[in-house]
Amino acid sequence: MRPFNYSKAGDPATAVNLVSANPGAKFLGGGTNLVDLMKEDVMHPSELVDITRLKHADIEKTATGVAIGATATNALTANHELIRKNYPLLSMAILAGASVQIRNMATNGGNLNQRTRCTYFYDVNMPCNKREPGSGCGALKGINRNHAIFGWSEKCVAVYPSDMAVALAALDAVVHVEGKNNAKRTIEFADFHRLPGDTPEKDNNLKQGELITSIELPTNDFAERSYYLKIRERSSYAFALVSVAAALSLEGNQIKQVRIALGGVAHKPWRASVAEKWLTGKEATEANFRAAAEAELKNARPLEHNKFKVAMAKKAITRALQGAMQGGVYGLEG
Amino acid sequence: MEDQPKFPDLTDEERKVLEDLMPDELPEIITSGLKRRHFLKLITFTGTGLLAAQFLGIEQLMARTTTGAPPPPIALENGVNVALKINGRAQNLLVDSRMTLLDALRERLALTGSKKGCDHGQCGACTVLIDGRRVLSCLTLAATCEDRVVTTIEGLAEGDTLHPMQAAFIKHDGFQCGYCTPGQICSAVALMSEAKNGEASYVTRNVRQAGKPVKLSDEEIRERMSGNICRCGAYPNIVDAIREVHGDKAVAQVWQFADGTI
Ligand SMILES: Cc1cc2nc3c(=O)[nH]c(=O)nc-3n(C[C@H](O)[C@H](O)[C@H](O)COP(=O)(O)OP(=O)(O)OC[C@H]3O[C@@H](n4cnc5c(N)ncnc54)[C@H](O)[C@@H]3O)c2cc1C
Ligand code: SF4
Ligand code: FES
Ligand code: FES
């Protein structure tokens, strides 16, 4: 690891000022992603500002929903009563990720900022536009089994690995950030992460020094019918090949509202808006779920080695919607 | 276990040097120990040549721990002072900002029970408890551990009496080579309190039903222990050991000595 200066921030303004003043500085949350990438020399910040002691760890009711502190751990968030009862989709998604040890360390702010697991990105001897702009994309014509089927560019075909973020995308979360001179702003979740375009080095729209302070979840009536389905190469402690966050509200058997977001398929959580539009107002039947999934995946652009993801995503969407219909109980029947 | 004093007393020589260089800070150093800002100031003096002959003494003071771990021999760029508690003992360490908690435990404190399997968060061999929760010491920077309470495998037994989880691992043969075992046991110990608190996992039947404590099925135990990889594949026996500690019923032991005793 290269040398870096370490400090603990006592208040958000200090943290923001330090990181804004030094382009080489980074906030340090649980360190589960950043420390790993520093060991691999993929990232080499000259300064780390530890934000885990900031008082941003609460999870509380607001006028319009629930606010989740950015430095609350993933474990605490998934297990908080407000989240389990009102946003079980988020609990399920968080619990589908990593291991208990990692979730005990990982912060919510850090989770949103975790970087891709593209193996070319991790290997400093390989070309990678995300790690080193202009060096080329090793995966585009390389081994791209785990890569994107939606929204990629010639510059980068990586997928964004977070499970938590897939649920946040489905739940229309809002990210609260604080910048220099106490400049606060909010970012709609759909606008938080980016597609790679010509600037894959930018994962999201945060500016240097901007600190995530909380994530807000608007009130919804999905609690009784939501499901997070994760498909991976071993049954636990592995990143998703494809994952689906699905949530429904019904009037009789007619779909009043539906939210579907996919993980493992794009550079950001992929809102399946085609499928959502297709389903709204229709009967909640398996045939309709299937047809909606077909419609969504029509637009997929798989790469050389990941064509399987198209069929997998179709099935996964259908299964996740069925899981939601079965009340979000783990272990799908039928 | 008896607490060590948090910070060492100063020798006369050390006191004199600090008095000369940092008269304003001396009382604070005596009451609460050498902090990062003092250290940085001292480093500045070193840079300007002011410290010269006394430097070695200061270095040793800054590096000194209450339990006599050897001080680092040279001045540290980006050194961080950390006061924390490990297995019931107060420790005061000067670490390189890059040092992980795992390396601090193994290389500085000779607590080699925690193992380095992958060093990248992928195996769980380095699992320790911080403030009672299981974490990976290979991805935890030692510098972040100020005021934390750390428990390693060495801190689980009470004298000669093994922790029930340690005893159960022996009874059920929950290991072969033993490399993953300290991490497995620390993880399993934390799992017991998570279950007591009613925490959920991905395979929990209905996360909306929060209640405590939860009764762990084998599937639950496997999912919750998935952060600890065992290359010897001792998994079934590990699950048995955990079931026994978790439940009230004894689980049958799977092995016996050649003479038929257990
Ligand atoms: C072996 C392994 C398996 C994993 N498996 C999964 C998985 O299956 N699913 C999954 O979703 N994740 C998985 N993860 C990733 C894990 O969830 C992330 O590493 C974690 O969420 C990152 O959080 P952190 O607090 O540790 O972030 P850090 O590593 O501390 O920081 C990550 C980035 O976020 C920035 N940052 C942190 N907090 C803030 C803030 N408040 N404002 C602005 N920027 C901030 C940091 O500067 C840094 O750039 C896995 C990780 C490992 C090591
Ligand atoms: S897919 Fe993106 S992250 Fe992977 S090598 Fe190409 S540019 Fe790098
Ligand atoms: S050594 Fe820490 S997880 Fe493998
Ligand atoms: S006992 Fe050998 S790795 Fe688990």
- pLDDT band for position A213 (50/70/90)? very high
Q: In this structure, which ligand is nearest to the CA of A43?
A: 1
Q: Which of A94, A50, A54 is nearest to A70 (CA)?
A: A54
**Contact residues on chain A for B148, CB-CB shorter than 8 A:** none
A243 backbone dihedrals φ, ψ, rounded to 5°: -135, 155
Instruction: Examine the pLDDT at B250 and tell me if it is beyond 70.
Output: no
By the CB < 8 Å criterion, does A36 face chain B? yes
For chain B, give the percent of residues with pLDDT over 70: 68
> B108-111 long-range CB contacts below 8 Å, 24 or more apart?
B108/B65, B108/B69, B109/B65, B109/B67, B109/B69, B110/B69, B111/B86, B111/B87, B111/B152, B111/B154
ω into residue A88 within 30 of 0, thus cis? Answer: no
Quote the mean pLDDT of chain B: 83
Which of B120, B126, B144, B202 should be mutated for ligand 1, with most atoms under 8 A from CB?
B120
Six-digit token pair at A113?
A: 């900022």
Task: Report pLDDT digits (tens) over A123-136.
Answer: 999 999 999 999 99
A125 assigned to some structural domain:
no
Domains of chain B, by residue range, sit at 12-65, 79-155, 164-245
* Distance in angstroms (rounded) separating the CA atoms of residues A268 and A152: 10
Q: Residue A30's domain spans which residues?
A: 5-52
Q: Which band of pLDDT confidence, cut at 50, 70 and 90, is reported for residue A207?
A: very high
Asked if A215 and A174 touch (Cβ cutoff 8 Å), the reply is: yes
Count CB neighbours of A153 within 10 A.
17
Whether B176 is in the pocket of ligand 4, judged by its Cβ within 6 Å, is yes
What CATH number corresponds to the domain at position A236? 3.30.390.50
Tokens representing A1?
Answer: 């690891």
Structure tokens at A137: 């994309």
| Total residue length of chain A | 334
Q: What is the CATH number of the domain that holds A48?
A: 3.30.43.10
User: How close does chain B come to A301, measured CA to CA in Å?
Assistant: 31
pLDDT band at A227 (very low <50, low <70, confident <90, very high): very high
- Report pLDDT digits (tens) over A179-199: 999 999 999 999 999 999 999
Alpha-carbon A248 to chain mean position? 20
Model pLDDT, residue B257:
72
Residue A194 in domain? no
Question: Could you report the per-residue pLDDT of A292-309, keeping only the tens digit for each?
Answer: 999 999 999 999 999 999
Residue A286 lies in a domain: yes
Across the range B170-186, mean pLDDT stands at: 98
Amino acid at A178: E
Contact between A320 and A221 under an 8 Å Cβ cutoff? The reply is no
- Would the pLDDT of A264 be above 60? yes
Ligand 3 closest atom vs CA B119: 1
Report the DSSP beta bridge partners of residue A172: none
Assign B44 to helix, strand or coil.
Answer: helix
What is the arithmetic mean of pLDDT over A148-160? 98
CA A159 / ligand 2 centre spacing (Å):
9
When the candidates are 1.10.10.410, 3.40.50.720, 1.20.1250.20, 1.10.150.120, the CATH number that belongs to B164-245 is 1.10.150.120
Flag whether pLDDT at A9 surpasses 70. Answer: yes
Per-residue pLDDT for A95 more than 70? yes
CB contact under 8 A, B97 and A48: yes
B173 pLDDT higher than 50: yes
What was the pLDDT predicted at A186?
98
d(CA B167, CA B43): 49
**Which ligand 3 atom sits nearest the alpha carbon of residue A101?**
3
| ipTM for this model | 0.97
SS (H, E, C) chain A: CCCCEEEECCCHHHHHHHHHHCCCEEEECCCCCHHHHHHCCCCCCCEEEECCCCCCCCEEECCCEEEEECCCEHHHHHHCHHHHHHCHHHHHHHHCCCCHHHHHHCEHHHHHCCCCCCHHHHCCCCCCCCCCCCCCCCCCCCCCCCCCCCCCECCECCCCCCCHHHHHHHCCCEEEEECHHHCEEEEEHHHHECCCCCCCCCCECCCCCCEEEEEEEECCCCCCCEEEEEECCCCCCCCCCEEEEEEEEEECCEEEEEEEEEECCCCCCEECHHHHHHHCCCECCHHHHHHHHHHHHCCCCCCCCCCHHHHHHHHHHHHHHHHHHCCCCCCCCC
Cα–Cα distances (Å) from B151 to B129, B155, B156, B196, B228, in that order, read: 5, 6, 7, 19, 17
Q: Of A71, A91, A93, A96, give the one whose Cα is nearest residue A79.
A: A91
Confidence of residue A211 (pLDDT cuts 50, 70, 90): very high
pLDDT at position B258 is 73
Residue A302 lies in a domain: yes
Please, which residues 95-114 of chain A have a Cβ atom closer than 8 Å to chain B?
95-96, 98-102, 104-105
Whether the per-residue pLDDT at A113 is higher than 80: the answer is: yes
Confidence class for position B153, pLDDT limits 50, 70, 90: very high
Q: Is the pLDDT of residue A140 over 80?
A: yes
Q: Which CATH class is domain B79-155?
A: alpha beta
- Give chain B's end-to-end CA distance (angstroms, integer): 33
Q: Which of A35, A236, A329 sits opposite B139 (nearest CB)?
A: A35
What contacts A24, CB < 8 A, 6 or more positions away?
A45, A46, A47
Pairwise CA distance, residues B185 & B172, whole Å? 13
Segment A16-42 mean pLDDT: 98
* Residues lining ligand 1, Cβ inside 6 A: A 26-34, 36, 51, 70, 74, 97-98, 102, 105-107, 109-111, 113-114, 161-164, 211-212, 239; B 121-122
Mean pLDDT of A253-279: 98
pLDDT at res. A316: 98
The pLDDT value given to residue B15: 67
CB B109 within 8 A of CB B85: no
| Number of structural domains chain A divides into | 2
Q: Which residues contact A33 (CB under 8 A, 6 or more apart)?
A: A106, A110, A113, A114, A115
Spatial CA neighbour of B43 closest among B59, B65, B27: B59
| Residue A250 near residue A260, CB atoms below 8 Å | no
DSSP state of B96: E
Query: What pLDDT does A130 receive?
Result: 98
Where residue B18 falls among pLDDT bands split at 50, 70, 90? low
Helix then strand count (H, E) for chain B reads 9, 5
Q: Between B180 and B26, whose confidence is greater?
A: B180
Task: Yes or no: say if A247 and A220 are a contact pair by the CB < 8 Å rule.
Answer: yes
Residue A128 zone, left/alpha/beta (φ > 0; ψ -120 to 50; rest): beta
Count of C-beta atoms within a 10 Å radius of residue A110: 25
- Judged against a pLDDT cut of 70, whether residue B45 lies above it is answered with no
User: Given a cut of 90, is residue B2 above it in pLDDT?
Assistant: no
A42-46, A96-100, B25-29: range with lowest mean pLDDT: B25-29
In this structure, is residue A293 part of a structural domain?
A: yes
Cα–Cα distance measured from residue B151 to residue A29, given in angstroms and rounded to the nearest whole number? 21
- What's the pLDDT score for residue A332? 73
Given a cut of 70, is residue B255 above it in pLDDT? Answer: no
Closest CA to A222 of A203, A201, A245: A245
Residue A133 is assigned to a structural domain of this protein: no
State yes or no: pLDDT of B65 exceeds 50: no
Angle at CA of residue A20, ends A16 and A24, nearest 5°: 120
A197 within a domain of the structure (yes/no):
no
Q: How much distance in Å is there from the Cα of A156 to the middle of ligand 3?
A: 30
pLDDT band for position A331 (cuts 50, 70, 90)? confident
* Widest distance between CA atoms in chain B: 74
CB pairs under 8 A between A and B: 127
The answer to whether position A320 is within a domain reads: yes
Statement: residue B4 has pLDDT above 50: no
Does the CB of A44 have a partner CB in chain B at under 8 Å? no
pLDDT score of B42 more than 70:
no
